[in-house]
């Protein structure tokens, strides 16, 4: 009888090879041996097994660095697939990517209201199942389903305390049961943060604060190279820190929150009021436009040089800068990334933010943090969701099923 432990042990190394190659695209046997701190023969053996099993493939020879040219290995993209879901309060996007992070079809976007919608969860599950069915990918080839959503989220336990009420049951367990694939959930800002750290402007930075500028102001924190979510999963609740002594009333019931002073929603409100008051601007506005339309219009106008729009954004930027000063003092990060929807006016925000940092930061601290603007755009959350799945690939047993299945299939075919 074959020992179970041997399979598990050898699967451990194989999983970490797969994970590593997902992030680093292509590596030689020697590279893998070094980064995984395993001997070359061990890695070599695992690689040839993985190739036989269809997870890896040879990619060709890399240029020599003064000796024999290394044979590079990469993941077989069609070996497994990742389902990525990005939700906001109004709509949900679904996408499936292969192991090279390439989408296998167009992103599907559906209306799905989270607020006061008891059917939201059922609908979400239906959408996901429909999408997977339509893709034609069998369930056992899906590494996992990652779902990014707003709200107070406990990733470890799988709960969202704000939306998608699941009647006390774990969201991840429930959805996994109904879809037949492992499920991970996370806060949208967290996902944007890991996307920026793995594939964005903060690549390989160990301590990064990613600001999710949108209708609210989110914060995703990378601490010691890992996503930090705090003791109960609520860390990064940046938008409700008490920042202004007698500020505007916030939706949370308190006064002076950052969100109530500097979010894109507030900028939109101010724009509407300003135009009513007769400000000169290229912005047009009818009372029926939802704030989001106005918000997008402002950002576009600002990028086209509209002075009123730039003024409004600068004002918000300065306030965000004050909040970032606090963040820098506490966290001393390597970089701060402006991401999310608001990133498209990142360059306009940069100046007032810097100005605020100069005023509110100890120079030594301000100097040691870099301010960056995201280049990932709207895709950040979907990318982050895929990262979330692969980050857990070696830690969790959920995925072990895939390799174990493969192994048992092999055995069967041999008999």
Partner DNA sequence: TATACTTTTTAAAATAATTTAAAAAGTGCT
Partner DNA sequence: AGCACTTTTTAAATTATTTTAAAAAGTATA
Taking the least distance from each CB to a copy of itself, the nearer of 23 and 228 is 228
CB atoms within 10 A of CB 93: 20
Q: How far is the CB of 1 from DNA (least distance, A)?
A: 9
- CA 117-193-326 angle, 5° bins: 100
Q: How far is the CB of 76 from DNA (least distance, A)?
A: 17
Residue for token pair 């993209």: 77
CB atoms within 10 A of CB 54: 12
CB atoms within 10 A of CB 148: 28
3 binds a copy of itself (CB under 8 A): no
317 binds a copy of itself (CB under 8 A): no
Kindly tell me the burial class for residue 12, based on how many C-beta atoms sit within 10 Å of its own C-beta (0-12, 13-18, 19 or more).
middle
Taking the least distance from each CB to a copy of itself, the nearer of 90 and 330 is 330
Taking the least distance from each CB to a copy of itself, the nearer of 23 and 360 is 360
Question: Which of these ranges, 4-12, 54-62, 134-142, 355-363, lies near a copy of itself under the rule CB under 8 A?
Answer: 355-363
CB atoms within 10 A of CB 18: 25
Query: Using the rule CB under 8 A, which residue among 365, 373, 375, 379 binds a copy of itself?
Result: 365
9 binds a copy of itself (CB under 8 A): no
- Sorted by sequence, the CB contacts under 8 Å of residue 296 that are 6+ apart come out as none
By CB under 8 A, the residues from 136 to 155 that bind a copy of itself are: 152
Residue 5 binding: pick among DNA, a copy of itself, none (C-beta 5-8 Å cut-off by kind) = DNA
d(C-alpha 117, C-alpha 134), whole Å: 26
Residue for token pair 């029926």: 288
Residue 127 binding: pick among DNA, a copy of itself, none (C-beta 5-8 Å cut-off by kind) = none
224 binds a copy of itself (CB under 8 A): yes
333 binds a copy of itself (CB under 8 A): yes
Query: Using the rule CB under 8 A, which residue among 72, 80, 265, 325 binds a copy of itself?
Result: 325
Please, what sign has the CA dihedral across residues 337, 341, 344, 345?
A: negative
């Amino acid at each position: 009888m074959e020992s179970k432990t041997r399979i598990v042990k050898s699967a451990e190394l194989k999983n970490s090879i797969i994970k590593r190659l997902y992030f680093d695209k292509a590596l030689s046997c020697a590279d893998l041996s070094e980064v995984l701190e395993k001997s070359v023969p061990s890695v070599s053996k695992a690689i040839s097994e993985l190739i036989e099993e269809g997870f890896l493939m040879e990619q060709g020879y890399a240029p020599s660095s003064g000796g024999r040219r290394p044979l590079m290995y990469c993941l077989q993209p069609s070996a497994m697939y990742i389902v990525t879901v990005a939700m906001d309060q109004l709509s949900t996007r679904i996408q499936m990517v292969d192991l090279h992070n390439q989408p296998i079809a167009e992103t599907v976007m559906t209306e799905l209201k989270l607020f006061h919608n008891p059917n939201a969860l059922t609908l979400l599950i239906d959408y996901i199942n429909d999408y997977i069915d339509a893709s034609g990918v069998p369930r056992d080839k899906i590494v996992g389903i990652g779902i990014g959503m707003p709200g107070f989220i406990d990733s470890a336990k799988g709960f969202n305390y704000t939306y998608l009420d699941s009647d006390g049951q774990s969201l991840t367990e429930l959805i996994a049961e109904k879809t037949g694939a492992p499920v991970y959930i996370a806060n949208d800002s967290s996902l944007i943060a890991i996307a920026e750290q793995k594939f964005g402007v903060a690549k390989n930075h160990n301590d990064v604060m990613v600001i999710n500028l949108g209708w609210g102001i989110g914060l995703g924190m990378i601490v010691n190279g890992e996503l930090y979510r705090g003791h109960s999963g609520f860390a990064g609740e940046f938008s409700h820190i008490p920042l202004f002594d007698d500020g505007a009333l916030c939706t949370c019931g308190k006064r002076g929150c950052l969100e109530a002073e500097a979010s894109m929603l507030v900028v939109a409100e101010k724009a509407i009021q300003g135009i009513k008051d007769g400000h000169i601007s290229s912005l047009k506005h009818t009372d029926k436009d939802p704030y989001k339309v106005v918000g997008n219009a402002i950002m576009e106008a600002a990028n086209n040089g509209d002075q009123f729009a730039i003024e409004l954004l600068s004002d918000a930027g300065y306030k965000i800068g004050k909040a970032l000063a606090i963040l820098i003092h506490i966290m001393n990060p390597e970089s701060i990334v402006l991401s999310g929807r608001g990133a498209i006016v990142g360059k306009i925000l940069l100046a007032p933010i810097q100005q605020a940092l100069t005023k509110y930061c100890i120079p030594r601290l301000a100097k040691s943090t870099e301010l960056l603007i995201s280049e990932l755009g709207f895709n950040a959350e979907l990318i982050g969701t895929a990262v979330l799945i692969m980050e857990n690939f070696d830690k969790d047993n959920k995925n072990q099923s895939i390799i174990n299945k493969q192994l048992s299939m092999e055995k069967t075919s041999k008999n």
